[in-house]
Structure 1
Amino acid sequence: MPPKAKKQKIVRSTTTTTTVSVVTSTTTAAAPPPSAPLSAVAARRQQLLELANKPSSPATPEAEEHLEVDNVDVDEEEKASLDSNESGDSDSDDASDQSEEEDGGAKSTNKEAITAQPNERRDRRLFTDPQSVSTFKPTRYNVVYLSNSGSPSMVLIGMRRGETLVFQGCADVIPLLGHSTALGYIMSGTAEKKRAGSKKNVRSGPKELDLSSISTFPIISPRTHALAVIESIALAGSQRNVLVPQQTTPTPPELKAQLETLTSQLASEDFDTVFAIRSASECGILGIEKVVPLFKGILSMKQNARIRGNEDEEKLTQIRFETSLPGFHPILEPTDSIAALRTPNTWQDAMQALIDSTVDENSQRVKRPPVSVVCGGKKMGKSTFSRLILNRMLNRYRKVAFIECDIGQSEFTPVGMVALHVIETPALGAPFTHPRQPYRAFFVGNSTPKDDPDYYMACVKELVKTYYGEVSHTRSWDESDDYHSEDEEDDHIPLIINTQGWIKGMGYDLLIQLLAYTTPSHIFGFHSPSNGDSNLPPSFFTTIRDQALNAGREQPKFLYVAAVVLGDDSNLSPFTKYHPADHRALALLSYFYLDQETGLGGDVENRNRLVWDFTQALVVRRPWCWDWKNAKGIWVLFDQVPPSQILYALNASLVALTGDKENPHDDDDGGETEISQPQPPVAADGAPAGQIVPLSYFPLGQYPPPPPEHTTCHGLAIIRSIQPSTRTLHILTPVAPSKLKKCNGVVKGAIHMPIHSSLDHNEDNSAVRGVAGVPWKDVPYLNYEAPSGTYSNNPSQPPSPGSQSPRLGYAPPVKIIGSDAKVTRKNLGRKRLQQ
């Protein structure tokens, strides 16, 4: 007896009824007579056939809504399911399974239309934004290609003022002439010569360009966020004079020769901006798509073979430009589920007001650098706005301090950390594309401060105190005029604080405390006309004003910014499919897959160049051995763990590595620390050999968390295993060896690694189905439950054909409540889908 057909969820369609009428390939005269009820698969086939034979018509808003809701890609598996169940669909006698899905219909014999329909379904556009398209159009006059071994390795682009280039993927941008912007940062050409005795740059011919030094800006543009936009702009002389010189490096001889070859073929005097683009796929970030199937396609795009021999020259030029560099995908026409970054006018006005406050009426930089606080509700664009003003301020200051208070959506660190950063290079990408080692940080241990608001506030205040005392060398913003440093850079380091989106109840009280302690010069408040519940309370302005008057301080400048709320009809967003939990998973995976040699603090000279290594899964990597003999303490936040169970609680968990606040006089041999191997049991502190040295454990409730006044967090780690006989924790971490030497504490919170960190994304190339060559039945701490009857009870017996899981192999048929297959569709590990 064929298996029972699976029910299919009915979505709202543009038609008023759900009756399906089928037109055969031989006649269209009359509808067939009513037949027996059909199964869900047959109804689905008839719907596909109807769409295949239906003439095209202009799309309506209702039709677009239907397309967005009923987004079901018919892949090879579904097509095979249709063919295999063809005989059972017409003979099915379980009418109750179809009563909710169809009113009647006839079986179609037109298999050719059925097999052709899946491709049409994939080609149908669900979301297209005409404004998210490049206004730059490639031609043979404004684009020059440099090819090595037959494939382009670099592209030189000439743009006129106002033209934009939207792209997905990753690329290295080398500005040569003119000015352009990307994510708020102004990139200046470094190849323009100066007249003798003049400070103004002059436009030089191709043979007069100065290519001795260049600036390179890695830009990573994933579709999980709004795509990056490069725009050609023109700056007046006064605007150019206040720009801080960009960091440049000597041009390698080979690269210099390549740039000279490209510039000699482009009439640079005809364009306002000229820059070169190289592929940045060697950084390794594209490998994150292999680790989590959900993130497949966030950086890469499928290149369709559209050259059929009858395209005109313009079309051929566009196709060549789109496929010119690996990992670089320009958006030259409306594309499904693509949205580019657009800056509202209120954002531009607010950023310009902040920039204007950095100079006086004589265009001289003011002595007091601004201290800005960005506040507002959730999903309003605070993080994006903070990133934009950070990049804009880097055009005025060599260094900008940044305090991240949003522990659920951090900009430079993984989830659960509040951190102070001193930024010197722009953040040109989504948060997971630019993790950085903080100047000082604390591990709160959760994605929200509601479980321990006092400790959260103590950590934030300590970061503000660190900024005033160690970064700007003052106790508050009001005292900046009284401090004068011999180094002008230390005298001018502004501060930007990005706050959390919790502005109700206790969250609002935390925000008021932060503003009272910070004494900012500018407050950016997000306001949404359509979503009043996410706005700050009406008393917010008066409360801050009264605080300043009572303390005798200068009142801050209030700048209200229009919110960009996801889900508004006026701002449809194609990346709403990625939720905050997905962004946190991206940040964690990006953090732990950083290359240890060039990762956080690994290579100071290439601090602007991050490298990821996704060739090996985390479970395969060789861990560090951390000796707890000299550890000052172990903390477990939010959970009561008996001392006898502490090792079990720490095993296979995500922890923070902490150290003392100041270690300036610690001896550092400067060499890299080799990975130590487990040693035989030795005596410790006079204890007999073989005796386990207990950890210094501070149970919750009896002791507070690590005091922020005396500690700091160096980074996160995964405890892969514990060897009590040698007092070692085997950990995986991207923290540099110089920082690992300073770690003397471990803190476990409520943050957990995504399930994909425990899997082996290279198992398809392994001879053994499992993780790192270990069969699934022997993999510890990981249990995959399958419906009963799917797998054999005998682990040694191979599964029957078609019963093997495409991802997790086979497992014993443990049948418990909730073990039925869940409709997650490559979304393994997303809690909100496990229903």
Structure 2
Amino acid sequence: MLSAVALRQRKSAASSVAHSFSPSRPTEDTENSGGVPGDFENTTNVFSPHLDVNVFRLRAFEASKFFLSTDQSNVILVIQPSEALPMIGVVDITLLAGSISVLGVELSSTRVSHTVFAPRSHPTPYIVGLMPKSSPTVLAHDIPQRVRDNAPSGAAIILLQQSKTGVESLGHICRAFDGLFGDVKSAGSWGVPGFYAAVDGLPPGSRPFVLPESWQVALDSVQSLPSHLEIDIPFLGLVYGAKGAGKSTFSRTLLNKLLSTHPKVAFLECDIGQSEFTPGGLVSLHVLDRPVFGPSFTHIRPPFRAHFIGSPTPRSSPSYYLSCITALVNTYRLEVQYSAFAEDGTVRSVPLVINTQGWVKGLGADLLSKIEEIAAPTHMYSFQPPESQHDTDPISQPITFSIHPRSSSTIFTLSSIGPQLTSIKYSPSDLRGLSLMSYFHSTYTALSSTSWSTSVPLNARPPWEIDCSVALDSIILSGPGGEDVVSEELAPALNVGLVGLVQMIESVPSVGQREPQPLQPHSFSFPYTQGTPPPSPEISECVGIGLIRSVSETSATLHLVTPVSGDVLSRCRVLVKGEMELPIWGMLDYWADEDAKDLCGVEWGKVPYLQWGGGGSGVGSAKRRTRKNVMRRGQM
């Protein structure tokens, strides 16, 4: 455990390093000027590109040594310490020599490629050259000789490649995010499609990614943990604070920081409104072995284990929310906590980062307290309320820390950053919708990477046809009003609904040894019982989310669209519908012309579930809101 003196010494040592660019200093507001970010450490040393000096387009025979295509879209950069390269777009970077920092995370020379997502909706990341901490890197023989001759001692050599993920096409679906990656006119693209180096200034409305000083010191302290903590007492970091404070950004940066010293890191997502690796409505446990560079919608991936809440807030089902978190913490302790191995074969602990929801008053405060009891964290990262920082600079505010009086965990008090590190002009609802559409259009098959395909809208994608009377054991409606739906009203309640695909964890003696069941006459009925509670998280898990595109009452069948593979879907015999709804972007046909007067051949006035020109009227036209707990108005 670090003392206050050690923290002050670390802070002083960090501030004494002379960098022209530092993520620990405030910047001038570039929202209106669109110019180069302001004064980083009193000087600005933005990377200045010069062809065949520090920018090299790979020739065909040079690219073949890296097993790359020979279309001359691959570029090598030589970035010296203290130089910073602002980037917009999507690009694969491979650090061949030296050290760099990306989004607050230091990377050392390796042949592992990282995809960096830098959309205009979020602050602009920088590739910052760092002075190598160890002896100079010996350049590999396959780095072109002309690059070696122009690389000063200690410089970072970076390979840039085109990233063909298809993520930029999400803007064609979610029109509010159109041009998120590609419509930027800036010099310095150097022939790498989809990548723009904003060396002549950030586009209007963009801001640089800046880490507050308190964040930097807290992140640096992770690398100074005593060695016995890595084996006997795993690192458990709990991040909490009000919404909009930067919790998700800090949690992601903390995850990446831990991955620089640990082969695997676990991530427990308790924020069901702004989830990091899944769409909203899920509490999930993830195990990662590579850092992620980009906002949440760019790294949607299958969880190690997850449970479906079906709402962006735990307000309507706080007890079930806590039981799901308890089950995931138990899963971490039993299956993940000591599952890593060092190069010498010894067992290493897997650190855990816990990101919490931003509800910190009333019932929300009680939930945070319960999560703390369940997880028993070794480190806690508390964000100051934004209203307490009116007279102080959140970027340069010093860090404070204390010892928890009951659990003896170290508490770091961090400054809230507000919109400087979170999305600039989009609401949480917009980002939830973008994350959901990213999920439905992703391949969702690989744990290490994700690609997107938007060639077919959801209303034209071939769905799975499910015979509910045969393929399902139960259909459950949760959320406000779900317990009041009778069997006769089930079909309209399910239509165009988002459902959790739940797999029950059964105890089977051995594979293939079940007793054969006698054939039953086909009843063509839904397996639905009014008021059934959600399945216990101890005996179930959610493997994904599906969209019910249509329901047939006569044959008890439904059409389901989901990125989950068929073999995984076949194991899901329970559907749970919550209060989450498909955003309007998922209901429209982006193939059609903007001036089209119909949707898939149906006039706008006759399109079901869509209403234009204002809401309905009369009793029951508004969405029903219920509460299963008692709270004062100030606690909402």
Per the TM superposition, whether the score is higher than 0.5 is yes
Q: Distance in 1 between matches of 2:135 and 2:225?
A: 15
Task: Write out aligned runs for 1:224-623 (5 A).
Answer: 224-237=121-134, 264=147, 267-270=150-153, 272-280=155-163, 282-303=164-185, 319=187, 321-322=188-189, 324-332=191-199, 333-357=201-225, 359=227, 365-472=230-337, 491-528=348-385, 530-531=387-388, 544-546=404-406, 548=407, 555-566=408-419, 575-594=423-442, 599-600=443-444, 602-603=445-446, 607-623=447-463
Corresponding position: 1:770 with 2:598? yes
Is 1:697 aligned to residue 528 of structure 2? yes
State the identity as a percent: 31
State the AA in 1 paired with 2:161: R
Mapped contact 2:34–2:202 kept (Cα < 8 A): no
The whole-number CA distance in structure 1 between the counterparts of 2:357 and 2:450 is 27
Structure 1 residue 630: deviation in Å? 3.9
Per-residue CA deviation, residues 439-492 of structure 1 (Å, 9 max, x unaligned), is 111111111111111111111111111111121269xxxxxxxx9999957641
Letter in 2 for 1:220: F
Q: Note closer, same or farther for the CA distance 1:157–1:485 as it changes in structure 2 (3 Å cut).
A: closer
Superposed CA deviations along residues 626-666 of structure 1, whole A, max 9, x for unmatched, are: 33224221111122211111121111111110012368998
Cα distance in 2 for partners of 1:466, 1:238 equals 42
Task: Report if aligned partners of 1:156, 1:262 keep a CA contact under 8 Å in 2.
Answer: no
Q: Radius of gyration: which is bigger? A: 1
Q: Cα deviations across residues 584-606 of structure 1 (Å, max 9, x unaligned)?
A: 01100100011xxxx22x24xxx
Show structure 2 runs of 5+ residues with no match: 1-27, 61-68, 391-400, 513-517, 619-636
Whole-angstrom CA distance in 1 between matches of 2:569 and 2:346: 29
For the residue of structure 2 that corresponds to 1:705, the secondary structure is coil
For 1:153, the equivalent position in structure 2 comes to 73
RMSD: 3.6
- Kindly state the Cα deviation for residue 574 of structure 1 after the two structures are TM-superposed: 9.6
Once the two structures are TM-superposed, the CA of residue 264 in structure 1 deviates from its matched residue by: 5.0
Counterpart Cα distance in 2 of 1:732 and 1:574? 31
**Contact conserved, 1:719 with 1:732, CA < 8 A, in 2?**
yes
Query: Which one of the candidate residues 55, 58, 76 is aligned to 1:143?
Result: 55
Please tell me whether the aligned partners of residues 374 and 382 of structure 1 are also in contact (alpha carbons under 8 angstroms): yes
Name the CA distance, whole Å, in 2 between partners of 1:413 and 1:432: 8
The 5 Å alignment of 1:622-641 reads: 622-628=462-468, 629-637=470-478, 638-639=480-481, 640-641=484-485
SS of the equivalent of 1:356 reads coil
SS of equivalent to 2:78? strand
CA drift at 1:782: 2.9
Preserved CA contact (<8 Å) 1:358 1:370: no
2-side partners of 1:372 and 1:393: how far apart? Answer: 11
CA contact under 8 A between 1:401 and 1:496: conserved in structure 2?
yes
| Residues 323 and 761 of structure 1: CA distance in aligned 2, closer, same or farther (over 3 Å) | farther
Structure 2 residue aligned with 1:111 = none
Give CA deviations for 1:499-547 in whole Å, capped at 9, x if unaligned. 11111111111111111121111111112474379xxxxxxx999523x
Q: Kindly tell me the number of residue pairs found equivalent between the two proteins.
A: 557
Q: What is the CA-CA distance between 1:687 and the residue it aligns to?
A: 2.7
Q: Which residue of 1 aligns with 2:486?
A: 642
Distance 2:510 2:454 in 1: 34
SS in 1 for 2:374: helix
How far apart are residue 134 of structure 1 and its match? 7.2
Local SS of the residue matching 1:170 = strand
Tell me if structure 2 keeps the 8 A contact 1:189–1:275: no
Paired residues of 1:128 and 1:337 also in contact (CA < 8 A): no
Aligned: 1:784 with 2:612: yes
1: distance between equivalents of 2:309 and 2:162? 38
CA distance in 1, matches of 2:410, 2:100: 29
Residue 252 of structure 1: aligned partner:
none
Instruction: Work out the CA distance in 2 between the residues paired with 1:784 and 1:745.
Output: 34
* Other-structure match for 1:729: 558
Deviations 1:153-197 (A, max 9, x none): 11110001121111111000011111112124333223xxxxxxx
- Structure 1 residues 579 and 136 mapped into 2: Cα distance closer, same or farther (>3 Å)? same
Partner residue of 2:621? none
Counterpart of 2:382 in 1: which secondary structure? Answer: strand
What is the deviation of 1:329?
1.4
Over residues 712-736 of structure 1, what are the superposed CA-to-partner deviations in whole Å (9 max), with x where a residue is unaligned?
Answer: 1101010011234554321111112
Q: Residue 105 of structure 2: which of 161, 169, 185 is its match? A: 185
Aligned partners of 1:719, 1:387: CA distance in 2, in Å? Answer: 32
- TM-score of the pair, normalised by structure 2: 0.79
Q: Contact 2:174–2:434 at 8 Å: present in 1 too?
A: no
